[in-house]
Structure 1
Amino acid sequence: MTSTYYVAWWNVENLFDEENSPRRSEKLARVLGKSIVGWTAALRDRKIDQLASVISRMNAGAGPDLLGICEVENEVVVGRLAGVVNARLPQRNYQVVHADTADERGIDIAFLFDPALLSAPVGERFQHVVMRRTATREIVQVNFRTHRGRTWAVFGNHWPSRSGGQAESAGYRAIAGETLAYFHQRVWEVHGEHTPALVMGDFNDEPFDESLVRHALSTRQPAKVVRADIPRLWNLMWPIVGAGEGTFYFDNFTNVLDQFLINRNMVSDTSTILAVTDSVEIVRFPGMASTGTYASPLPFGGMGKAVNPDGFSDHFPIAVKVHEAD
């Protein structure tokens, strides 16, 4: 019997620990400065409740089987989020893979997964450094084992921001794309060319930008992925770009910064782990978007911005279904 996994990704917008957290280094406290002032434990927990209310509604109220998140400060806040979602979904018992990255703002990448369906062997968790002059998030790779015993390489990404200008910062995202392409190829070399790989993340670039097309070796054409003699990726977000939708809004323009990409082993009907490519969606439940002409994500705020306790994040989540054969 085919298993179907509901996979989601969400940039949860500055999910930081409380202002005076003993888990924060003095260096990070200095970097955050006044932006963390007033971020109380109550606000942190309210934000977690808001995020959990969305996550628990995904997958027709069953919650995702695998969820990648970014902009989390530490494993404690991720664990709190998993605990609140578990309380809302008693049938779930989400476990966490958290990567304490070297980002200068202290924001990390993590995965929540259902251990009844997937396992994350300790020796199959990797952090790939993206080299630049200032510290930035690593690419996080987990070679999950499905409950049917197959290896499934999953990459979580949060590429360098456009701070300072899109063109001025483009080189940093090019380096991130090269890093991703290199370690995708390493999956083939270590685990074999038939290993399925799923890439998800906030790339701070769109599917048509050079960082993804030229450096990460992604394309909108599945035939180029299937027939290539090098590891290429099919970017599943092109239909959403064409529809004029977005996961992030800037100056009331839509941007598709959050994306899913797959390698050739998740493309064909003979794939043992197959992405249902027409299932890709932007997750927008009632109340998650602002009212008015531009239905942008409703942020929670904080970190120097006004707090809206009824908000969620400045990004919408995205989701895709994946089939695994017997």
Structure 2
Amino acid sequence: MRLNFFKPREKRHTIAFYNIENLFDVYDDEITRDYDMLPSSEKRWSIKRYNNKLRKIGYVISNIGLKEVKRHPAIVGIAEVENDAVLKDLINSKHLEEHNYSFVHYNSPDERGIDVALLYDENVFKVAFSKTFTVDLLDDDGSIDYTRDILLVSGLFEGLELHVIVNHWPSRRTGDIETEQKRMKASKKVTEIISFLKDKNPEAKIVIMGDFNDDPNSNSLKALELSHGLYNPMRTLLSHDRGTTSHNQNWNLFDQFLMTHNFFERKKNTLRFVKANIFDEAYLKEYEGKYKGSPYRTYVGKRYNGGYSDHFPVYMVVSKR
């Protein structure tokens, strides 16, 4: 008699990152410069527009990786949220309320009050530890340049140790070359965080995600990659007609993942990397005009556009055997 032995089926999950373009409430925060996103501002931000944004962003998040994994993402790094209140509204919005999401968020010193955060499905990921790390920057005149903190969240993902580092590095607003040193400092800070984790456990499994405001081949990303022998699966995805954000009709791939090489281990009971991609479905794109194909954003300058974000999300699929 012939016996059939079946290998246990692997379980797959999605880990995502999304810069959601200024998710602000409609109330004035006297501590931060949020006056652009108030009902009285030129942008005329309103409850109706806020709720529309929540619904749209929730719909996107619920669909990231759905074709591959058949369920919502287990973890979603988020950039450009104002506070805890908007995150609570987001996870309780129409398309996310049934998914048991919780979040980790700390207020950062960023002058505009935009922070990073981590959404996670409590059925999959159990948070054990979280901490923020400040990137100390100076402007040319010697004054402090307040930017987003880097967020570290550690826990058990399907019972296995996982560390996630969420980033939103300094922008290129005043010029790519002029601001490069600021992103190099952020890169160095992430290197220090990885060293901190590896000092405790040399085999620590780490995912670094974020809007780095640099492409995979930029000096800051190459330095980070080399510092701990990391793998960047996004390198092959940037092309002349594809990226995560577009400026002057040129694509950039600022939104990326890097990971430790132990995501390629073949042993049992471990998390393994499967694939990474840009989530750039047609409904997330401008469908006509000069900017056809670029992200369908909420605002274009001061003009309300009614879209989703000026960035496409990115995602990676991991498996546990």
| TM-score bracket, shorter-length normalisation | 0.7 to 0.9
| 1: CA distance, partners of 2:35 / 2:102 | 32
CA contact (8 A) 1:119 1:146 kept: yes
RMSD: 1.9
1:169 aligns with 2:174: no
CA contact (8 A) 2:240 2:250 kept: no
Mapped partners of 1:193, 1:314: distance in 2: 38
Q: TM-score with structure 2 length normalisation?
A: 0.87
Paired with 1:165 and 1:139, the residues of 2 have a C-alpha distance of: 22
Query: Segments of 4+ in structure 1 off by > 4 A?
Result: none
CA contact (8 A) 2:211 2:254 kept: yes
Hey, what does 1:42 align to over in structure 2? 48
Question: Which of 4, 7, 11 is 1:3 aligned to?
Answer: 11
CA distance in structure 1 between the aligned counterparts of 2:115 and 2:211, rounded to whole angstroms: 12
Residue 230 (structure 2) aligns with: 233
2:210 aligned with 1:201, yes or no? yes
- How far 1:90 sits from its partner (Å)? 6.3
Instruction: Work out whether residues 54 and 285 of structure 1, in 8 Å CA contact, stay in contact via their aligned partners in 2.
Output: no
* Structure 1 counterpart of 2:163, one-letter code: A
Equivalent residue for 2:118? 111
- Distance in 2, Cα, partners of 1:194 & 1:242: 34
Which residue in the other structure is 1:101 paired with? 108
Whichever residue aligns with residue 164 of structure 1, its letter is T
Which has more helix, going by share of residues? 1
Task: Please report how far the alpha carbon of residue 237 of structure 1 lies from its aligned counterpart in structure 2 after TM superposition.
Answer: 0.5
Q: Distance in 2 between matches of 1:89 and 1:206?
A: 31
> How many angstroms apart in 1 are the aligned matches of 2:127 and 2:214?
29
Partner of 1:160, secondary structure, is: coil
Unaligned 5+ runs, structure 2? 1-7, 139-144
CA distance in 2, matches of 1:34, 1:80: 20
- Conserved in 2, the CA contact under 8 Å of 1:62 and 1:89? no
Q: Secondary structure at the match of 2:100?
A: coil
Residues 117-136 of structure 1 correspond to what in structure 2 (within 5 A)?
Answer: 117-121=124-128, 124-133=129-138, 134-136=145-147
Partners of 1:315 and 1:34 in 2: CA distance: 19
* The one of 169, 186, 198 aligned to 1:188: 198
Partners of 2:318 and 2:271 in 1: CA distance: 7
C-alpha deviations, 1:56-105, integer Å up to 9, x for none?
22223632111111000001101111111xx4356521111112111111
| 2:219 aligned partner | 210
Alpha-carbon displacement from aligned partner over 1:191-245 (angstroms, at most 9, x marks no partner): x11111001100000010111112x1x16xxxxxxxxxx6221111111025752
CA gap of 1:208–1:78, structure 2 versus 1, over 3 A, is: same
AA aligned to 1:46 is N
Question: 1:299 is matched with which residue?
Answer: 297
Residue type of the alignment partner of 2:46: T
Identical positions, percent: 29
Is 1:57 matched up with 2:63?
yes
Q: What is the distance in 2 between the residues matched to 1:34 and 1:95?
A: 28
Q: Tell me how many residue pairs correspond in the alignment.
A: 297
Secondary structure of the 1:206 match is coil
Instruction: Please say if 1:265 is aligned against 2:253.
Output: no
Match of 1:68 in 2: 77
Pick one of 163, 167, 192 that aligns with 1:157. 167
Q: Is the 8 A contact 1:143 1:154 kept in 2?
A: yes
1:14 alignment partner, SS class:
strand
Q: Deviations over 1:257-287 (max 9, x none)?
A: 00011112213333822111xx211112232
SS at match of 2:208: strand
Q: 1:32 aligns with which of 34, 44, 64?
A: 34
Return 5+ residue gaps in structure 1 as ranges: 220-229
Give, in angstroms, the shift of residue 53 of structure 1. Answer: 1.6
